[in-house]
Structure 1
Amino acid sequence: MTVIERKVMGSMQRRIGPNVVFSYALLQPFADALKLVIQEQILPSQATKRWGVIPLGPGLALSSIGVYGILFAGWSANSKYAFLGSLRSTAQMISYELIYSSAVLAVILLCGTFNITEILEAQQSV
């Protein structure tokens, strides 16, 4: 099944499909897994590993939970007008979150760090 998927993806991307490991490509998934395990990991010298998993912090992720509350409240009212109102409110909240995320990302890019202490120190020179 993996070989068929890879052949289809290869033809969709207009390239030659995968080189098979065995005559019927029975060992292809194992060869892919072995290649994944053996390959070298490249890490930049200035990179901090702990920020690789959650680059913008849990604050941005948790800020969108309120959207679900408003959406479910409008849905549970069993009224199409309440549901449409909750959809409008949800759309507004999502658009505000995009602006908020852009502002936070701009500060992080200008300061060059995710560390809040270093961001505050960078503001002292302004």
Structure 2
Amino acid sequence: MPLDRADRQQRRLRAEVTSMSAAVDDKRLDVLVEVNSADLRIGATNDVLDLAELSALTGARFTICGPLTEAFRREADRRGARTIVGTSRWFSRRALPLYAASVARWIARLRRLRPDVVHLNYPGYGPSLGCA
């Protein structure tokens, strides 16, 4: 798709989203997403960033966590998403005390952030954020 056409299409989509959001109440939707990769070359990671950027016009605010790189943090900031330090620990009987501590940290973060939606992107077995 030529760049000019893509730019026009993106502007048209933004205008549609903005007009749709006028019909919605002023409550902001807070979404917490944990990604399992910060590789900016793969689809799922870019999908989260695209969703954060495009839904900002509706009043949604995305907070992204996981094993994030500095490059990912900069890109998220550029697209209007916040990032926090926090990564789930996968369930393991051998490391149960560490898992329990991770769940407790996530409970504290969730109390502070108070997200409306928590999305785990490609979680492993029993992520501590999911348990919290």
Q: TM-score, normalised by structure 1?
A: 0.26
Give the number of the structure whose alpha-carbon radius of gyration is greater: 1
Whose helix fraction is larger, Structure 1's or Structure 2's? 1
Whose strand fraction is larger, Structure 1's or Structure 2's? 2
Q: TM-score, normalised by structure 2?
A: 0.25
For CA contacts below 8 A with separation 6 or more, give which structure has more relative contact order. 2
